[in-house]
Structure 1
Amino acid sequence: MRLRPLVAVSVAAVSVILLAGCSGSTGATASGSPTAAPAADLCDAQVSSGAAADAVTVSGDAGVAPTLSFTAPIQIDTLQAKTIDKGSGTPVTAGQFISYAMTAYDAETGQKLGDIGYKPGQLLPAQISASSPLGQVLGCGAPGERVVATFPASEQGAAQVYVVDLLGIVPSAAWGAEQAPVAGMPTVSLADNGAPTITLPGGNPPTETQIATLKKGDGAAVQSGDQVLVQYTGVRWSDGKTFDSTWDKGGVPTSFTTTGVVPGFRKALEGQTVGSQVLVTMTPADGYGEGEINANDLKGETLVFVVDILGAQTSAAQ
């Protein structure tokens, strides 16, 4: 089956169109991590409804995969969006990350193509902007918003009818329950926005990688090969200085797969739950390799990271 343009290849894969706003580094550092989306009025970004969207009947409650009914084939000339259920609470603003779910039907045959995002770990949170497909469909909706959208045929595929549910606004920092600190490990203090400051305990670095959960999230567990959305700060043990931090780059989360980072970072992520904050002190062997400590790279360094896990998409859903 093929969902286009919001979902591609199968119901278990998300197109590059939606991921364009939240792609990130494939290494443990975030060179090339995304910049904050410009502030824009999402209310004005939502496209208008029309005959095609009005012709679609949607059954079911927001947050659960719906059933669509329309007379096929349905003529779709332009992108249209019609709000079916209004959300409640704080409306989303440009640059925020949202959790969402989608159901797609073929406009020509009326057949359901699939749904995705209604179960934990199926979709990575996406950054919304006025120029993104999500922004054009959802506008400045609030959690619980349900919108039917009609997409005309293009080079990417045939015309399709979507229902998009705005499930929630994802915090920019870990929200899990605080856990007791581990004696002997670095300590962490948080700014009002969640940005961490790491204080090293002094003395020689540990000879084995150490991991502690600072906050325990309530989301899905991260599995090997998952794509994750995270905030992080990393410091060198040798001098305590920060060498990389998403918080220093506009506070915008970045994403990568757990198998695309150094072993210590991977160990810190896999098995943890979404919403968690993790502290890891990794040896050079689990970082960037043994060698003489220098100012040009991270060889020989014992590294300390604080990682906030904000979302995960299972490898089976990519």
Structure 2
Amino acid sequence: MRLRPLTALSAVAISALLLTGCSGSADPEPDPTADANADAADSQCLLDAQPSEASDAVTVEGSGNDAVVSLPSDYAIDDIARTVVNEGDGDDVHAGDLVTVHFSIVDAADGSVLDSSDRDGEDALPMLLDPQNSSLFVAALECQPLGSSVVLALPSSALGGGDTSLVVYAESVEKLPTIAQGTPVDPVEGMPTVELDDDGAPTITIPDADAPTETQIAVLQQGDGAEVAPGDLVAVQYRGVKWSDGSEFDSTWSRGGTPTQLPTTGVVTGFRKALEGQKVGSQVLVAMPPAEGYGEQEGHELQNETLVFVVDIVATAPIAQ
């Protein structure tokens, strides 16, 4: 199976390719790629790139954020290729996994670093291996044991044309949980109630009460991880229902239980308020009136609905500047 996004990515938008793939979306609406992502997590390799002279010729000194990637003179890439620098000893990584990654993205023409995981004092960055939004990392890390480090060579033809070819150094570090694992917090009176099944999927029950006129937020589980900052790219599980009848309108749980990754600036106001300032590992309940949901989107099916979300915050990362 060919990794479709590799033939459609723009090499001039490296940051968008790596950590802002969802930023074009204004709302947490149903993700048409999520079913594919869930299927991918249960399948074999999507691309399984093999070594070539180009990927073998790259040298890497050091590891993690200290890794230095060097290219030979007159370096050229003819096809997508991957060389394993060091093989890890963990379980194999697949599309759909949420892992922390050390990486450097290098311009194959001059060896300059275009982006890396060394940003804002961060160590390894969390990455949802989504074939649609983080396809470089799927191609680099899939079907290799956790802890592996690899070199991925990408010709410009695999990046949507142009003249820029890339060399990616990537090192998978840790597989992250995909549900909230914080300390339970007592429910807030008057808010919807939430029950979790054995997999962590929530069932939301709307109270027999008027819908709130202002956004209400309650922490159901208190995490102790990194705090979500404005503009961060956040990996979440969520379920959304209407206050009016309790019916579900969107859910990662209904799409295979694979998280989605989105920037806090790319969602409706009420959803953003539920994310920013919270800590990774938390589960948050938010009820938002139309004004902070889809009220301004004329003709939207949820324009006049008060919405309720249960959100598991499982990772966050700063977006490259």
TM (normalized to structure 2)?
0.77
**Counterpart among 59, 68, 93 of residue 57 in structure 1:** 59
In the alignment, which residue of structure 2 is the partner of 1:293? none
Looking at structure 2, the residues matched to 121 and 6 of structure 1 have their Cα atoms a distance apart, in angstroms, of 24
Looking at structure 1, the residues matched to 141 and 124 of structure 2 have their Cα atoms a distance apart, in angstroms, of 21
**Percent of matched pairs sharing the same residue:** 44
- Give the counterpart letter for 2:117 in structure 1: I
Shift of 1:207: 4.4
Judged with a 3 Å threshold, the aligned counterparts in structure 2 of structure 1 residues 176 and 112 are, in CA distance, closer, same or farther, namely same
Judged with a 3 Å threshold, the aligned counterparts in structure 2 of structure 1 residues 282 and 308 are, in CA distance, closer, same or farther, namely same
Contact 2:239 2:253 in 1 (8 A): yes
Shift of 1:113: 4.0
Judged with a 3 Å threshold, the aligned counterparts in structure 2 of structure 1 residues 258 and 310 are, in CA distance, closer, same or farther, namely same
Looking at structure 2, the residues matched to 173 and 140 of structure 1 have their Cα atoms a distance apart, in angstroms, of 23
TM (normalized to structure 1)?
0.77
In the alignment, which residue of structure 1 is the partner of 2:30? 30
Looking at structure 2, the residues matched to 113 and 235 of structure 1 have their Cα atoms a distance apart, in angstroms, of 41
Judged with a 3 Å threshold, the aligned counterparts in structure 2 of structure 1 residues 47 and 300 are, in CA distance, closer, same or farther, namely closer
Judged with a 3 Å threshold, the aligned counterparts in structure 2 of structure 1 residues 283 and 253 are, in CA distance, closer, same or farther, namely same
- Give the counterpart letter for 2:29 in structure 1: T
**Counterpart among 309, 312, 316 of residue 308 in structure 1:** 312
Looking at structure 2, the residues matched to 298 and 76 of structure 1 have their Cα atoms a distance apart, in angstroms, of 48
Deviations 1:175-230 (A, max 9, x none): 33333333332221112222101123433344432211222334432233334332
SS of corresponding position for 2:35? coil
Of Structure 1 and Structure 2, which has the larger fraction of its residues in helix?
A: 2
Shift of 1:9: 4.3
SS of corresponding position for 2:36? coil
Unpaired runs of at least 5, structure 2: 1-7
State how 1:254-293 maps to structure 2 within 5 Å: 254-289=260-295
Judged with a 3 Å threshold, the aligned counterparts in structure 2 of structure 1 residues 159 and 300 are, in CA distance, closer, same or farther, namely closer
In the alignment, which residue of structure 2 is the partner of 1:148? 151
Are 2:131 and 1:125 equivalent residues in the alignment?
no
Looking at structure 1, the residues matched to 71 and 208 of structure 2 have their Cα atoms a distance apart, in angstroms, of 67
Deviations 1:265-318 (A, max 9, x none): 22111111233211012234333449xxxxx94455433210122333435x26
Looking at structure 1, the residues matched to 205 and 223 of structure 2 have their Cα atoms a distance apart, in angstroms, of 23
Looking at structure 2, the residues matched to 243 and 78 of structure 1 have their Cα atoms a distance apart, in angstroms, of 42
In the alignment, which residue of structure 2 is the partner of 1:249? 255
Equivalent pairs counted in the alignment come to 302
Looking at structure 2, the residues matched to 24 and 88 of structure 1 have their Cα atoms a distance apart, in angstroms, of 37
- Give the counterpart letter for 1:283 in structure 2: P
Contact 1:121 1:312 in 2 (8 A): no
Deviations 1:40-87 (A, max 9, x none): 322x842222333333332223x3340123432334333221212222
In the alignment, which residue of structure 1 is the partner of 2:163? 157
Give the aligned CA root-mean-square deviation in angstroms: 3.5
Contact 2:101 2:173 in 1 (8 A): yes
Judged with a 3 Å threshold, the aligned counterparts in structure 2 of structure 1 residues 283 and 164 are, in CA distance, closer, same or farther, namely same
Judged with a 3 Å threshold, the aligned counterparts in structure 2 of structure 1 residues 269 and 151 are, in CA distance, closer, same or farther, namely same
Looking at structure 2, the residues matched to 76 and 33 of structure 1 have their Cα atoms a distance apart, in angstroms, of 30
